[in-house]
Amino acid sequence: MTIQSQTTATLSYADLLASVVPAEGGREITDPATGEVVGRAPEHTAADLDAAVAAARAAQSEWAALGHERRSEYLNRAADAVEASAEALAELLSREQGKPLNGPNARFEVGACAAWLRATAAFELEPEVLVDDDGGRAELHYRPLGVVGAIGPWNWPMMISVWQLAPALRMGNTVVMKPSEYTPLSVLALAHVLNEVLPEGVLRVVSGGREVGEGLAAHPGVDKIMFTGSTATGKAIIRSSADTVKRLTLELGGNDAGIVLPDADPAAIAQDLFWGAFINTGQTCAALKRLYVHEDLYDAVCQALTAVAAQMPMGVGLEETNVLGPLQNKAQFDIVANLVQAAKDAGARILLGGDPDPDQPGYFYPTTLVADIDNDNPLVATEQFGPALPIVKYSTVEEAIAMANALDVGLGASVWGTDLDQARAVAARIQAGTVWINKHGAVDPRVPFGGAKQSGYGLEFGVEGLKHLGAPQVISY
Ligand code: NAD
């Protein structure tokens, strides 16, 4: 395998789209902000899946033989390719997913793809010497697993694909991706750009519905599934992968709690609380989805958050001023609308939003803040995955911790306050894979990320993330 030419092409939006749309047929994908057709996505069959797995398997041993250093060179070249076509990728992502170009949205997501590729290329992974004494020596190595299947959601389609494929490739595996049926073009386009520099067969995409995902999870030629999506689908994947005893990394749904302690400063935290909850218009796995505020500062936090939220422009993604966009699809719009309606019906107080305009095209749901709501209301107890944040009042910190821990999911959580020792003590008692202090949802390629309880298992990112894409092997003598 030789690294191809050093210059990376800058693709226009038209060229990028043309590279992924089939010559004929396919399924129309529409822009959730306007209803306009973005393009047609290929609908791959079971035979296409078999062919992709066979190609990935055929390419794997030569890819593995390159070693870490050469594979890291490829990942860095892949990052160059993403950066060269960043604007076209961001435009396609914005049109297909709905997220605005600006704010922590489409351009940010494409930038994160390059950053994660580079960070994943840079990690050191040395064999661990476990025993080395007169009795003998034992070393722990991480070998490639083989072919990794990567199944992704529609909310951060490009970035989550890179979270799955970058460590898989770095560890000497080849990859078959199955993007969400809602956002296949973004992932096909990303793969097209990456494949400008990667060797043939190392990265394949099969585009289709849940049956293609099921086929990948059950496929005897696939050694591991990296899955990001809902908890219900994660359970289905556990079942369909059981016969082949596949390794699994499951990043599933969450309903992240944030606890504002009595010593917090409402004005100082309002902006970070807002983005913790509303990043990607609330369609983020580890977004703040239920906020617990001490009664002494409840009104002040509600006021400060409302002031910040009311200023955030929502609209069509390609308009440069917007930082919030539509829900990605009608089903998600209906989930959010029904949950807010349930809150209203139960007598909760709407501080902002809650009144979608039936005449507005696109799946826009206004930024919504809901106060004076019970902890068992469905808007609190269910993952809303949209721009609606319930704010629950509490009296004692014990009560807040109990409410935060009451659900069967635990992806992220956050604690907000000025006394760091106290915030750390509360954080230690929350059942979640990550607990942030005075921020929410900030991920870092060097820091492992994963869920507790039914939010999944396995870790992504950092050296721990690499280990999850390797087959541990002990050499003992
Ligand atoms: P989803 O589970 O409906 O779909 C995800 C993917 O799984 C899609 O590609 C889909 O086609 C595929 N799929 C569906 N049924 C399948 C089956 N039986 N076998 C194999 N594949 C199947 O999820 P979604 O609606 O796209 O994403 C939203 C959910 O994802 C939310 O719950 C969110 O919290 C979660 N999520 C989690 C993380 C995380 O890191 N933990 C990140 C993003 C999203």
Cβ atoms < 10 Å from Cβ of 131: 11
Residue nearest to atom 14 of ligand 1 (CA): 210
Which ligand 1 atom sits nearest the alpha carbon of residue 456? 41
Which ligand 1 atom sits nearest the alpha carbon of residue 216? 20
Q: What pLDDT sits at residue 8? A: 82
CA 349 to centroid of ligand 1, rounded, Å: 32
Pairing of strands 256-260, 288-294: parallel
Which residue type occupies 455?
A: S
Q: In the numeric block, which tokens belong to residue 68? A: 């870490």
Residue nearest to atom 35 of ligand 1 (CA): 229
pTM of the model: 0.96
CA 182 to centroid of ligand 1, rounded, Å: 11
Q: What is the block-wise mean pLDDT of the chain (477 residues), using blocks of 10 residues?
A: 66 96 95 97 96 98 98 98 98 98 97 98 96 97 98 98 98 98 98 98 97 98 98 98 97 98 98 98 98 98 98 97 98 98 98 95 97 98 97 98 98 98 98 98 97 98 98 98
CA 228 to centroid of ligand 1, rounded, Å: 5
Which ligand 1 atom sits nearest the alpha carbon of residue 229? 30
Helix (H), strand (E), coil (C) string for 15-70: HHHHHHCCCCCCEEEECCCCCCEEEEECCCCHHHHHHHHHHHHHHHHHHHHCHHHH
Best residue among 49, 161, 164, 210 to mutate for probing ligand 1's pocket (most ligand atoms within 8 Å of CB) is 210
Which ligand 1 atom sits nearest the alpha carbon of residue 217? 20
Q: Are 212 and 206 in contact (CB under 8 A)?
A: yes
Query: Which residues approach ligand 1 with their CB closer than 6 A?
Result: 151-155, 160, 178, 180-181, 209-210, 213-214, 217, 228-230, 233, 236-237, 240, 251-254, 285, 383, 385, 411, 451, 456
Rounded Cα–Cα distance for residues 438 and 244 (Å)? 43
Gyration radius of the chain over CA positions: 23
CA 181 to centroid of ligand 1, rounded, Å: 10
Q: Are 94 and 101 in contact (CB under 8 A)?
A: yes
Domains of the chain: 13-252+455-476 (3.40.605.10), 256-444 (3.40.309.10)
Q: In the numeric block, which tokens belong to residue 9? A: 């092409």
Helix H or strand E encompassing 362: none
Q: What are phi and psi of 324, to 5 degrees?
A: -125, 150
Q: What pLDDT sits at residue 6? A: 59
CA 115 to centroid of ligand 1, rounded, Å: 24
Catalytic residues: 251
CA 252 to centroid of ligand 1, rounded, Å: 7
CA 60 to centroid of ligand 1, rounded, Å: 27
Q: In the numeric block, which tokens belong to residue 393? A: 């009042």
Helix H or strand E encompassing 136: strand 136-144
Q: What pLDDT sits at residue 1? A: 56
Residue nearest to atom 12 of ligand 1 (CA): 210
Best residue among 109, 151, 156 to mutate for probing ligand 1's pocket (most ligand atoms within 8 Å of CB) is 151
Which ligand 1 atom sits nearest the alpha carbon of residue 182? 26
Residue nearest to atom 40 of ligand 1 (CA): 251
Which ligand 1 atom sits nearest the alpha carbon of residue 251? 41
Q: What pLDDT sits at residue 237? A: 98
What dihedral do alpha carbons 440, 442, 447, 453 form, nearest 10°? 40
DSSP 61-125: HHHHHTHHHHHHHHHHHHHHHHHHTHHHHHHHHHHHH---SSSSSHHHHHHHHHHHHHHHHH---
Residue nearest to atom 41 of ligand 1 (CA): 251
Q: Which residues pair with 409 in a beta bridge?
A: 453
In the three-class reduction of DSSP (H, G, I as helix; E, B as strand; rest coil), residue 225 is classed as strand
Among 443, 475, 474, residue whose Cα is nearest residue 461: 443
Helix H or strand E encompassing 436: strand 434-437
